[in-house]
Structure 1
Amino acid sequence: MNHTPRFRTVLSCALLAMSLVAGATACGDGDSKRHPLSAKPSSSAAAAAKIVFSGPTGKTKADPNKPLEVTARTGDGRITDVTAIDTKGHYLAGELAADGTRWHSTAALAAGTRYTVKVATESKKGTSGVRTLSFDTRPAKKKLEVEFGPEAGEYGVGQPITATLSEPVKSKAARDVVERALKVRSTPSAEGGAWYWVDDTELHYRPKEYWPANSVITATSNLDGVRVSNKLYGAATKPLKLEIGDRVEAIVDASSHYMTVLVNGEEINNIPITTGKPGFSTRNGVKVVLGQEYYVQMRGTSVGIGGSEGYNLPVYYATRVTWSGEYVHAAPWSVGSQGVANVSHGCVGMSTANAAWFFETFRQGDLVEVINSAGDYMEDFGNGFGDWNVDWEDWREGSVLQAGTREGSSPADYARLRPSI
């Protein structure tokens, strides 16, 4: 970039001194040089009074950790307005002194970008002028990368959006910056919607209720170049687009031993099933389909089950709902108990024909809700998506923007074990 050399004489066209200065409480780097500004006077500037621009020559770039300041020379007039905008169209917030002698930025500059600054002035005689200046900021040395999940594609109404961060973000101020920059939109719109900090590096987003059926969800980030915390700046993020299908959900009643399947609220099937027997009771609560496998070899030893309870069986039409091994799958060996008793090791078993139908009907993001089981509740995080089991007001407590800081604990580290049946 070509920069205007340092002016050593007063030009007869404006009345400002402009510089980037270190913040009063910030640690400096010992560099006494001014930050670069190249000045291009507008057509109206020539009618104004005197201006002086200061800045280094060469290709030096501004330190984004230091604020921007514009000052009117004492006795020469006043500043009436300042606008600073970067190449992405983001305005830099600032504050103008009541007497018009000084304007300074009140937000951090973006890293690795170019700013255009327009300064409107008024001389003592009432003559107005406009000066346009531009400068570049240094790129960030440490970047916060964000990866949205799941992969782009078609999903059910229960699929949460995830954001995985490359660096831990702990402070309320830094989390505030991240949340404000991560945008999720639904068409048609969904009621409510909030991020929840699962831990320092993972956020989940969901609306108050499930996504609207047949909607389109987009997730984008405006973090690129934005300062998150001291010397940590956001990186560019690949946007995400999800297409949501019909509302498909299965209600598994462990006490009646039947599963009711609904599409958009209308019952379309009622299937005899078996769930976990005493000591292996199936988890209660809402679970989100994680994936599907036509064939899985299920071994009891993989999940610590041996002896008389051990098993080693080929399983077909397996729809996964937890990482620790709960599936909805074909269980031809227990057909006599389906609709009658609970005899599994935690999975929802059904006939091969019913399992094949379920396999073809459900997709990732669809819902399986277990009720009336003697088992514990589905974990909120870490063992799949138990997000919908969190009350909406509690969910909002996990958002810095909606309810303030929530420290919370990290989810348990669940190994992706082979399933139990």
Structure 2
Amino acid sequence: MSHTPRLWTVVSCSLLVASFGAGATACGGDDNPLSGHPYDAAAQVAFNQTAGSRPVDPDRPLEVTAKGVDGSRITDVTAVDTHGRRLAGELSAKGDRWHSTVPLAAGVRYTVTVATEDERGAPGQRTLSFETTPAKKLLKVEFGPEEGTYGVGQPLDATLNEPVTDKAARALVERALVVDAKPHVLEGAWHWIDDTHIQYRPKDYWPAHSSVTLRSNLEGIKIGDDMHGAASTPLKLEFGDRVEVITNAASHWMTFKRNGEVVSSLPITTGKPGFATRNGTKVVLGKQYFVRMRGDTVGIGGSEYYNLPVYWATRVTWSGEYVHAAPWSIGSHGYANVSHGCTGMSTGNAAWFYENIREGDLVTVVNSIGDWMPTFGNGYGAWNLDWKEWREGSALLKGTQEGRSPVDSARLRPQV
């Protein structure tokens, strides 16, 4: 005896979204059960949430069940919150139950659309809308630096108002911080400096004349006990030319490169023994036309104490290392290192440097007898960590294969 197989495929059709209590137009009189609009499936499904003005607890999972009327089953459930985020869930093999597999967001409105079919294969639909209660404790994210145009070495910062220590919670935070670069940057990663500070850099410098938008999808998302993400203000940065400065403390000369081409070579002096300039790559922090520099502000006194008016000063560390005009030591420029750690040059050269450098540009010191620039704590030293070490500071990428994100790894698993 021949049997006609049951048809499970549902043909795409226009869905009539309605508030809870209002259904879509029933199927027409056509003999084909798939020819009409989805009928109101209110009699076929039940929700564990109730529509209405009273918000529900976001810690309570969302559940949709089939009542078994007319052999009906659930074929799909879509739950979308106010921000357009889909709630992850799992549908049973029999189509009799769907439940959420992640916590609901707090302080948002969900619209849940359930697709069903009866024993003839005719499609039904039911929609429910409800709100969740606001969070009791909010994790706020503040992005930096300030909006503007920077050099291609500028890292991105995210500062949290509450500590995040749990690895899974850190991974959730990272996943929700979206870095959108144009043109696209293939690899980049967040690095946890401590429990409240995260820094982002690409594998290589940002492309010249590119832009990046940084935003958070954390709003309402559960991060820990009683703590959910708060809304945050997006940040947009532009990047200028690729400016790289090489300060050679052994030859006492500086090479200034723009987009790979040498545009100037300048005689300089750097830190003398006992005050040697730090090696490594530093990111320009800011510029000041005039700075009063005193030895006691950095712990220098006695015979080495100084109190000098300094012009055309470009800052590269928070502890007081600058590139600046040093007319008092001009006889040593190009010949000897006589400063207390700064890079000095003639007034004319310092003015030129000042006018051609911007925040985020790169200044690398080589061949100094000084210590290395630290990665964190004294400015931006992120580029002194190789890419593998930088990735190890990410809760998402630590231990993963370079060049692949966790999503890539899952997608590329062999089929079994």
Specify if TM > 0.5: yes
What is the distance in 1 between the residues matched to 2:167 and 2:250?
Answer: 45
What is the distance in 1 between the residues matched to 2:167 and 2:48?
Answer: 37
Asked if the contact 2:151–2:243 (Cα under 8 Å) also holds between the matched residues in 1, the reply is yes
* Residue 261 of structure 1 pairs with residue 262 of structure 2: no
- With over 3 angstroms needed to count, the CA separation of the structure-2 counterparts of 1:73 and 1:344, relative to structure 1, is same
How far is the alpha carbon of 1:193 from its aligned partner?
A: 0.8
2:63 corresponds, among 65, 69, 73, to 69
Deviations 1:179-199 (A, max 9, x none): 111111221223411111111
Gaps of 5+ in 2: 1-18, 26-37, 401-416
How far is the alpha carbon of 1:82 from its aligned partner?
A: 1.2
Asked if the contact 2:294–2:306 (Cα under 8 Å) also holds between the matched residues in 1, the reply is yes
Asked if the contact 2:43–2:67 (Cα under 8 Å) also holds between the matched residues in 1, the reply is no
What is the distance in 2 between the residues matched to 1:378 and 1:112?
Answer: 44
* Residue 90 of structure 1 pairs with residue 89 of structure 2: no
Which aligned pairs between 1:6-21 and structure 2 lie closer than 5 A? none
2:113 corresponds, among 118, 122, 125, to 118
What is the distance in 2 between the residues matched to 1:176 and 1:361?
Answer: 39
- With over 3 angstroms needed to count, the CA separation of the structure-2 counterparts of 1:329 and 1:52, relative to structure 1, is closer
Aligned to 2:14: none
* Residue 340 of structure 1 pairs with residue 335 of structure 2: yes
- With over 3 angstroms needed to count, the CA separation of the structure-2 counterparts of 1:314 and 1:48, relative to structure 1, is closer
Asked if the contact 1:272–1:338 (Cα under 8 Å) also holds between the matched residues in 2, the reply is yes
Asked if the contact 2:51–2:130 (Cα under 8 Å) also holds between the matched residues in 1, the reply is no
Which aligned pairs between 1:15-54 and structure 2 lie closer than 5 A? 38-43=20-25, 44-46=38-40, 50=44
Gaps of 5+ in 1: 1-36, 406-421
CA RMSD of aligned residues (A): 1.9
Instruction: Name the amino acid aligned to 1:373.
Output: S
Instruction: Name the amino acid aligned to 1:62.
Output: V
What is the distance in 1 between the residues matched to 2:104 and 2:41?
Answer: 31
TM-score (norm 1): 0.84
Instruction: Name the amino acid aligned to 2:305.
Output: G
- With over 3 angstroms needed to count, the CA separation of the structure-2 counterparts of 1:52 and 1:70, relative to structure 1, is closer
Asked if the contact 1:296–1:314 (Cα under 8 Å) also holds between the matched residues in 2, the reply is yes
- With over 3 angstroms needed to count, the CA separation of the structure-2 counterparts of 1:106 and 1:146, relative to structure 1, is same
2:280 corresponds, among 257, 277, 285, to 285
2:192 corresponds, among 197, 219, 242, to 197
Deviations 1:191-228 (A, max 9, x none): 41111111111111111111111111111111111112
2:232 corresponds, among 216, 228, 237, to 237
What secondary structure, in the 3-state scheme, does the structure 2 residue paired with 1:401 have?
coil
How far is the alpha carbon of 1:46 from its aligned partner?
A: 4.4
- With over 3 angstroms needed to count, the CA separation of the structure-2 counterparts of 1:190 and 1:77, relative to structure 1, is closer
Asked if the contact 2:279–2:371 (Cα under 8 Å) also holds between the matched residues in 1, the reply is yes
Which aligned pairs between 1:17-416 and structure 2 lie closer than 5 A? 38-43=20-25, 44-46=38-40, 50=44, 59-73=53-67, 77-124=72-119, 126-404=121-399
Aligned to 2:410: none
Task: Name whichever of 116-125 and 344-353 sits farther off.
Answer: 116-125
Aligned to 2:28: none
Instruction: Name the amino acid aligned to 1:110.
Output: A
TM-score (norm 2): 0.85
* Number of residues of Structure 1 aligned to a counterpart in Structure 2: 369
What is the distance in 2 between the residues matched to 1:55 and 1:319?
Answer: 60
- With over 3 angstroms needed to count, the CA separation of the structure-2 counterparts of 1:52 and 1:93, relative to structure 1, is closer
Task: Name whichever of 140-149 and 396-405 sits farther off.
Answer: 396-405
- With over 3 angstroms needed to count, the CA separation of the structure-2 counterparts of 1:49 and 1:162, relative to structure 1, is closer
Percent identical pairs in the alignment equals 63
Instruction: Name the amino acid aligned to 1:158.
Output: G
What is the distance in 2 between the residues matched to 1:152 and 1:52?
Answer: 49
How far is the alpha carbon of 1:303 from its aligned partner?
A: 1.2
Deviations 1:87-139 (A, max 9, x none): 22111111111122211000111111111111122345655421111111111
How far is the alpha carbon of 1:45 from its aligned partner?
A: 3.4
What is the distance in 1 between the residues matched to 2:347 and 2:121?
Answer: 87
Task: Name whichever of 240-249 and 67-76 sits farther off.
Answer: 67-76
What is the distance in 2 between the residues matched to 1:107 and 1:319?
Answer: 49
- With over 3 angstroms needed to count, the CA separation of the structure-2 counterparts of 1:145 and 1:356, relative to structure 1, is same
